[in-house]
Each structure stands twice: as C-alpha cells, then as structure tokens.
C-alpha cells in the first residue's frame, strides 16, 4: 500500500507541475466530479489487483482483471459511438484473447476469494478508464491532479481499515517515483486518445499492457517465453493491426 500511495502522490505532483507550466486553469466542477470518480475506482482496482496477486492467485486474478478492464471501456465506447467496422470488432476479440493468453499462469490457483478480487479489480479499473475519459480536452492535467490526490486518499483509507503499513523505505522511493511518473504519463496519453478517437479503441489498446510487460521481461530480465505468452504476443499484434485498419 505504501508504494501505491507514494506513486499516486508523486504522479499528482508531476501533473500539478505540468498544469502550472501549461497555464491550465482549475478543473471545472464537471471535470472534478469525473476525476474523483476515476481516482476512487483506480485506487480500489489497483488495491484489489495487488491483493489478489500477492495472495498467490495469479492464474485467476491476472486474466479476469485484464479482460474486464478491457471489456468495460469497449462496451461503453460502443454504446456511446455505435458499432465500429468489422475489422475493429475482430480486433477487439483478438485483443481480449491476447490479454488472456499473456496473463495466464500455470500455478493451479483457484478459489472464490481470488475470483472475487479479480472481478472487483477488473470492474474498478474498467470504470476508471471510462470516468477519466470523460474529462474536458483542455483539462487533462488538472483532472489527473484531482484523480491522483483522490486515489492517494482512498489508498490510505484502505490501508488504515486493513491495518496495513504505509510507511515507505527510502530505498524504494525512487522506484515508486518512476512508477508514479510513468503511470501519470500513460493516463494522460489515454485521455487524449479517448478524446480524439473512440473510447473502445483507446480502452482496448491500453489494456494490452500485459503484452508489453512480457516483452520487457524477456528483453531485460531474460525470462522464458511460454507458448501461451508467444501466442498472446502474436495475437496482440494481429489485434492492433486490425484495429488500425478499421
């Protein structure tokens, strides 16, 4: 919880600095409401995801969370903008399949608790993407400030009620800072993508992050690529190509 809270707070500080440098105004009431909703959902989703993974239930938590986080923005995007072309529909299906493949883990983990955490994490993260995309185009970084501060407060409350430590060792702070900055940058890119294009496309493509994680683990950590991972990477490439064609 300490790393998550620190990353959210650092992301809020970075977004505030960029907002000031850009000369952006204070977020409107409309943007603030969506930002608070997004921050709350994001904090709950990440807390449930980390709790599930820490409990050794990766085989359930990772794929279910990934699919829901991708499917919810896709469903809402289609409801708002109508059905996309056939290439994109096929790409959405392949994208969800890719998330399942690269998130799979042969650990034999089962249990209702793992499934419950996965459902909660995936739903909350999917709703986060929907809420954060509703911000006004001119208020991106102001929205990120509010959502990050909200998420920090929610994480601290969850830690308090769960009696979990939040103090972060000094040696971990640089890593938490990198996580917070990259997460904030990724969210800013997602907001812009959802505003200039379709929410379903932005939501699905952003949910392919497990593919990038696997590739980076292979390149920098020398991890072995399983057949499921290799298939997932190939399917993800096909999904991106189809969505681009559509």
**How high is the pLDDT of residue 58?**
64
Q: Which two tokens stand for residue 177?
A: 């800072």
pLDDT at 112 over 70: no
Which of 158-162, 185-189, 211-215, 240-244 has the largest mean confidence? Answer: 185-189
When pLDDT is averaged across residues 120-139 and rounded to a whole number, the result is 89
pTM of the model: 0.83
Mean pLDDT of 222-237: 85
Per the structure block, which two tokens stand in for 149?
A: 């501060």
Q: Is the pLDDT of residue 5 over 60?
A: yes
Model confidence over 24-62: pLDDT tens digits? 888 999 999 999 999 999 999 988 888 887 775 666 677
Q: What is the rounded distance in angstroms from the CA atom of residue 169 to the CA atom of residue 86?
A: 51
CA gap 66, 6 in Å, rounded? 24
Question: Which one is predicted more confidently, 110 or 130?
Answer: 130
| pLDDT tens figures, 83-106 | 888 999 999 999 889 888 887 655
Helices marked H in the chain — which ranges? 2-22, 29-54, 58-81, 86-103, 112-132, 140-161, 173-196, 199-206, 209-221, 227-245
Digit-coded pLDDT (tens) for 181-200:
999 999 999 988 888 888 99
Please tell me the predicted confidence (pLDDT) of residue 106.
52
**Please, what is the end-to-end C-alpha distance for the chain in angstroms?**
41
For residue 108, pLDDT over 90 is answered with no
Kindly give, in sequence order, each residue whose CB lies less than 8 Å from that of residue 168, ignoring residues fewer than 6 positions away: 2, 3, 5, 6, 176
Give pLDDT, residue 142.
Answer: 93
| Cβ atoms of residues 199 and 70 within 8 Å | no
């Amino acid at each position: 919880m300490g790393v998550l809270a620190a990353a959210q707070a650092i992301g809020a500080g970075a977004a505030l600095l960029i907002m000031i440098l850009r000369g952006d105004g204070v977020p409107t009431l409309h943007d603030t409401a969506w930002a608070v909703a997004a921050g709350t959902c994001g904090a709950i989703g990440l807390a449930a995801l980390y709790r599930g993974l820490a409990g050794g239930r990766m085989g359930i938590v990772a794929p279910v969370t990934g699919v829901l986080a991708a499917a919810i923005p896709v469903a809402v995007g289609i409801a708002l903008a109508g059905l996309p072309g056939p290439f994109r529909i096929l790409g959405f299906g392949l994208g969800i399949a890719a998330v399942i493949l690269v998130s799979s883990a042969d650990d034999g983990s089962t249990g209702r608790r793992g499934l419950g955490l996965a459902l909660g994490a995936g739903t909350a993260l999917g709703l986060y993407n929907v809420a954060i995309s509703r911000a006004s185009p001119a208020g991106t970084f102001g929205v990120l400030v509010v959502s990050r501060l909200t998420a920090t407060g929610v994480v601290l409350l969850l830690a308090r009620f769960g009696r979990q430590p939040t103090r972060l060792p000094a040696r971990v702070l640089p890593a938490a800072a990198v996580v917070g900055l990259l997460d904030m940058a990724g969210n800013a890119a997602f907001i812009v993508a959802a505003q200039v294009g379709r929410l379903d496309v932005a939501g699905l493509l952003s949910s392919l992050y497990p593919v990038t994680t696997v590739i980076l683990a292979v390149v920098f950590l020398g991890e072995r690529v399983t057949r499921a991972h290799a298939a997932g990477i190939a399917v993800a490439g096909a999904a991106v190509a189809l969505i681009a064609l559509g």
